[in-house]
Amino acid sequence: MQKMIRGMDLTSTLRTALKMVVAYAVAGTLWIALSDAALQELAGSDVEQLSRLQSYKGWFFIALTSALLFLLSYYFLRQITRLQELDPQTNLPRHALFLTHLDDVLQAPDGSIRPFLVLFLDIDRFNDLTARIGREPADDFTIRFGEALRAGHSADTLLSRLGSDEFAVAIPLDNSGRPHKYHTTRLRALFNRAAREAGLEVSCSIGAALAPDDGQEASALLAAAGKALRASRPLGADQISYFNEQWDKLEKNRRSLLQDLRRAIDNGDLQVHYQPQLHLERQRISGCEVLVRWHCPERGTVPPDEFIPLAEEHRLIAPLTKQVILKSCTELGEVDLLGSTLDRVSVNISAQEFTDRDFLPQMQALLGDLSSLRPYLQLEITERAALLDMKRSIHYIRSLREQGLRFSIDDFGTGYSGLSMLRDLPVDELKIDRSFIVDLNSQPRSAAIVSAVVGLADVFGLSVVAEGVETDGQLEALRRCRCEEVQGYLIAPPLDIQRFQAFLTGHSLQHPARA
């Protein structure tokens, strides 16, 4: 019945209603015609008896149709209520019913609060997953996970689907005899198994709260678990965190930081800095990487590793990137550095933004305002972002390269890239991750990897930039590896536009690393 109701569109609903009306009209017509003939036969010529029988027939018809109307109304209202209380895909209780059931079982017969573990599970980057694989496969995965939840827990465990990517589990601890970590780890294992069976690379994060310590009502416990989950966001995906009293303070600060970030983006208050890239053979600054900075009047300088994950989580990364591109191109254009001094300007594109279906049209619209600067703009994407959907990545890169953009693979060597990626992706540059540079002189394997990347780039006709260069020894080792370009604090730190322009003007060709 649920599937029937859920699957009806307006046309089929009207058709079904019309069939019911026609059936009622036919049955009513037959009833009137046949019952009148029967009553006439019974009453004969007795007019008074016929009148009484007609009256009885009318009351019987009212009683019968009222009973039918009651049964139909009760049936459909019960189904509607069921759809409101249960998630139609997983058949798990929704938010309100889950809280009601949890409140019912929290109270022990003696009036005390029973010990419960309440877990709030969120599928990491579910919107990205849906955009990547489509709505139907994503829904199939949540259904599979809902089945795994039911199969993996006993009857006294309460389960719920709170939202498209959120689930809740309440586990009584009276007789479990197991540590809390067992239940949280087991829940994550159930999720990971469902993901493997679906052939998906996706993780989840879990927030946990304990009754009665963290709350004595269902709503308070679920809120505490949610706070624990949100407080772990800065740590990245695939986290398990427990509520403590500091989470309230942290969450308030996080909400305040988010408001300030929204305001900074809306007002154009973010700053851009430029880190030079040195071409080793030509001994000149050939390009730069644009890095976003935020100096908040109330907070001071906010580190990028604090506000960028927040921007990604709340889908602010696209307007942030747009502001970075516009501001950097405007600043560099005003001082006439593009083309005359710099061959390219690299801007980072997050995996979330690059895998979004709106990325290509939004970027194409932005490029319409930057027609003269397009040949110098290079977008940096990570291996992970490119590999999430190779077909889409190739389409995006080809479409934007046709408009004059260049592409670089950032953090190359840290993911699962292979020769097929280099063969298929129409990129222009490989950027060697700093993790291979830091021990370049002490680890022969790191030097071998760098040499191999340089060799691969040469075969595929790509340029190479090594980032994170901080010592003269690393610089010399990269020269020996025939690395084309370098970037790092040895050359220069990220600089605002005035200091960057001064750096370029006073740059020493004899000892660029010391300039």
The span from the CA of 299 to the CA of 269, in Å, is 13
With beta carbons less than 8 A apart as the criterion, state whether 332 and 281 touch.
no
Positive or negative torsion for Cα 147, 149, 155, 160 = negative
The span from the CA of 215 to the CA of 222, in Å, is 9
Phi/psi class of residue 283: alpha, beta or left (left: φ > 0; alpha: ψ in -120 to 50)?
Answer: left
CATH architecture, domain 257-499: Alpha-Beta Barrel (3.20)
Give the list of residues 6+ apart from residue 506 with CB closer than 8 angstroms, or none: 515
The span from the CA of 169 to the CA of 98, in Å, is 9
Using CA atoms of 18, 20, 21, 22 in order, give the dihedral in degrees to the nearest 10: 80
User: Residue type at 513?
Assistant: A
Does the bond joining 276 to the residue before it have cis omega, within 30 degrees of 0? no
Domain ranges of the chain: 2-85, 95-244, 257-499
Q: Residue 185: which of 240, 147, 228, 112 has the closest Cα?
A: 240
Q: Which one has a higher pLDDT value, 316 or 247?
A: 316
pLDDT computed for residue 508 by the predictor: 43
pLDDT computed for residue 74 by the predictor: 65
**The domain defined by 95-244 carries CATH number 3.30.70.580:** no
In 29-186, DSSP assigns E strands to 116-123, 158-163, 166-172
Weakest-pLDDT range from 8-22, 117-131, 478-492 = 8-22
Weakest-pLDDT range from 10-19, 393-402, 468-477 = 10-19
The span from the CA of 98 to the CA of 95, in Å, is 5
Mean pLDDT of the chain: 85
Q: Residue 226: which of 210, 239, 213, 209 has the closest Cα?
A: 209
Confidence (pTM): 0.66
In 281-330, DSSP assigns E strands to 284-296, 300-302
Weakest-pLDDT range from 79-88, 361-370, 475-484 = 79-88
pLDDT in tens, 244-287: 877 677 778 888 999 999 999 999 999 999 999 999 998 999 99
pLDDT in tens, 167-193: 999 999 876 667 888 899 999 999 999
Q: Residue 450: which of 424, 419, 484 has the closest Cα?
A: 484
| Rg, Å, the chain Cα set | 33
Strands 240-242 and 204-211: parallel
pLDDT in tens, 292-306: 999 998 899 999 988
